[in-house]
Amino acid sequence: MPTLKSKTFAAATISGLLFQSVPIAAEMSDLQRDTVVRRACEAAIWAIPAVSVYDIELSLQRDAGADFGTLGYMSEPMDSRHGFLTANDVTPYTFGGLTTKDGPIVIEVPPAADKAAFFGTITNGWQVPLADVGTTGSDEGKGGKYLILPPGYDGDVPEDGYYVLQSNTYGVHFAFRPVAKNGGTHEDQAAYAQTLQWYPLAQADNPPPTKFVDVKQNPVNTLPVYDLTYFTDMNAVIQREPVLEQDKVMMAMLASLGMVRGQPFEPDAEMQEALLEGLQCAYGTMQEHFITKSVIPIWEDKQWGVWDFAEGQPEAGFPYVSDEMVLIDDRAGGSYSWITYLPKNLGGGTFYLTGLNDSEGAPLNGTDTYKLTVPADTPADDFWSVIVYSMQSKGFVTGNERVGLATPNLPDMQVNEDGSADVYFAPEPPEGLESNWIPTGEDFFLLFRLYGPSDGWIESGWKLPDVDNVSP
C-alpha cells in the first residue's frame, strides 16, 4: 500500500451536520492503525483455508523445484523434515494444486490395485470438498475420471464417462493416500501413486504424461507461516481467484489493507508492522478456538476427545456456509488452522482420538515425561498409530527422527505381559525404553488413530487410557 500522503478532505454536510476540513497526516493515526490491526486479524482468520492449501501447492515449486502442475508423491511416508498440518507418518501421500483457469481439467483416478488403493478428496481453492475418491469415494475403488469445470463454464460437457464437478474457484487441490493392502509395501504404494493422471479436458484424446516429484527425497514445508508471507500468500489467492458473493464485505476490508485485485500489494514498513500485529491476533484467536472448542470428550471419565465440527457441516460436506452466515471461526480455529482436506463424506476407515491434556487435565508440555498404555485389544482391524504434533505449528515436532509409533513398531518395542505397550513422550528417552519413546521438547498434542476401527467398538465399552505424567 502506498504511504499515506498529506491531503485535506473538503467540508461535507451529512444529515445537517457540518464536518470541517480534516488533514490526514503522512503517518497513520492511532485510529487508522487500530483499524488496520483489526481488519488484518479478521482477514487472516477468514483466509486460512485458502492460504493453507495454497501453501501446499507453493511448497512443491519452492521446496521441491517442481513446475506448476507437477504432482508430489512419496516413496516412503513423511518424517519430521516435512511440514504438513497433522499429517500421518504411516501412509505416504500424493498431492497437488491445479487450475481450471484455461478450461476444464480431468483427474483420472486408477482402479484399486492388488497392493494399494487411493483414499482422499478433491477440493476447491477454499478447501470446500468437491468429491471423495477411491474405495470410499464416488468411484468406489473402480477408478474414474473426475471432470472439474471452472466457474461460470458454459461449454460442452461430455455426457458419459466422467464424474462432473462444478467448482466456484479456479484452484483445484487434492491429497490422496495410496493405502497399502494385501501386504503391500511402500514401493507398491509409490508405484500405484504414479498411475494417477491429470490433464486438460481439451487433451483427453491424447493426454500428456503426468509429472511427479518424490517429496520424500525433496522434503517440503507446506505449513502456513505467521509472518508477512501469510499476507503475500493471501494476496496471491485474491489475485487469481474469482470473488465469491459471500466474501464481498471482506474484499472491502482487504482494500483498506492495500490488497486489491489487479493492483500490486506493497505495504510500507508502518503497514507491515500493523499487519503483523493483526496476524498475531488471528493466530491467538485460532489457537484459543482449537484448544477450547475444537475437541469434546468422547468419554466422561477420560481426557481423550473427538473433533467437534460446527453443527450440520459434516452432513453438508463442509462448505462452512449456512443459510445465515459464513462460519469463519469454525472453519479456521475449528479446522483449517490445524487440519487439511476434510472429506465430503465422513468415515473412511479411520477414527481419530485427540489428546490435549494428561490424566489430571493439565496441558501436555515439552519438558515432562508422559506414559500412554495402549491396550492389546485396541479395536483397530488394520493398526493403531499415535503421533506427537507441535502445539505451535500443528505439524510434526521438528528435529526428531521419530514422530510417532504404531502397531508395525510393536516387534521392536518392549511389550507388557498382557500384550499392552507403554508409549513414552518426553524430551529424552526413559532409560532402557528408547524403542517405546516419541521425542517431544516443546508443547504438544496427540492424535491417536484407529485404522480400520472394529465394528461396534464405541458401544463395546473399550476406552483408551489417559496419558499419565510420570516425570521423576
Residues 303 and 199 reside in one and the same domain: no
Contact of 290 with 337, CB cutoff 8 Å: yes
Other Cβ atoms within 10 Å of 285 Cβ, number: 18
Per-residue pLDDT, averaged over 205-227, amounts to: 97
The grid cell for 430 is 526413559
> How many angstroms separate the CA atoms of 267 and 258, rounded?
7
> Above pLDDT 90, what percent of the chain?
91
Q: Is residue 329 part of a domain?
A: yes
Cell of 76: 516412503
pLDDT band for position 24 (50/70/90)?
very low
Q: What is the distance between the alpha carbons of residues 172 and 99, in angstroms, rounded to a whole number?
A: 6
Report the C-alpha gap between 96 and 73 in whole angstroms: 9
Three-state DSSP class for 124? strand
Distance of CA 187 to the CA centre of its chain: 26
HSE-up of residue 314 (Cα within 13 Å, Cβ side): 7
Report yes or no: 8 and 26 within 8 Å, Cβ to Cβ: no
Burial 208-236 (b: 16+ CB within 10 A, else e): eebebbbbbeebbbbbbebeeebbebbbb
Same domain, 325 and 417: yes
Answer yes or no: are the C-beta atoms of 387 and 403 closer than 8 Å: yes
Inform me whether the pLDDT recorded for 26 exceeds 70: no
The pLDDT, as a whole number, for residue 398 is: 86
425 and 299, same domain (yes or no): yes
HSE toward the beta carbon, residue 240, CA cutoff 13 A: 19
Mark which of 214, 240, 270 sits at the end of a domain: 214
- Report the distance separating Cα 19 and Cα 13, nearest Å: 6
pLDDT in tens, 345-390: 987 678 999 999 999 999 999 999 999 999 999 999 999 999 999 9
Q: Where are the alpha helices (DSSP H) in 299-348?
A: 313-316, 328-331
pLDDT tens digits along 392-416? 999 999 888 899 999 999 999 999 9
In this structure, the answer to whether residues 458 and 319 fall within a common structural domain is: yes
Residues 303 and 195 in one domain: no
Q: Domain boundary at 148, 182, 214, which?
A: 214
- Encode pLDDT of 323-344 as tens digits: 999 999 999 999 999 999 999 9
How many whole angstroms separate alpha carbon 308 and alpha carbon 65? 38
| Average pLDDT of the segment spanning 74-103 | 96
Report helix, strand or coil for 192: helix
The SS3 assignment for 197 reads strand
CA distance 263 to 254: 12
Q: What CATH number does residue 338 fall under?
A: 2.60.120.600
Express each pLDDT in 38-69 by its tens digit. 999 999 999 999 999 999 999 999 999 999 99
pLDDT score of 417: 97
Q: Which domain holds residue 296?
A: 292-469
Q: How confident is the model at residue 2 (pLDDT cuts 50, 70, 90)?
A: very low
Rounded CA separation 19/168 (Å): 44
Distance of alpha carbon 444 from alpha carbon 425, whole angstroms: 10
Span 4-21, pLDDT tens digits: 333 332 333 333 333 333
Residue 96 lies in a domain: yes
- Same domain for 209 and 296? no
Give the pLDDT mean for 289-309.
96
Alpha-carbon gap, residue 30 to 198, rounded angstroms: 51
Share of the chain above pLDDT 70, in %: 94
Distances, alpha carbon 214 to alpha carbons 55, 118, 308, 367, in Å:
18, 17, 35, 35
Residue 263 corresponds to which cell in the numbers above?
493492483
CATH of the domain at 80: 2.60.40.1610
Split into its structural domains, the chain has a count of 2
- Give a yes or no: residue 177 inside a domain: yes
Tens-digit pLDDT profile for residues 444-465: 999 999 998 999 999 999 999 9
Separation of CA 31 from chain center: 35
For residue 369, the tally of other CB atoms under 10 A from its CB is: 18
Q: Are 199 and 106 in contact (CB under 8 A)?
A: yes
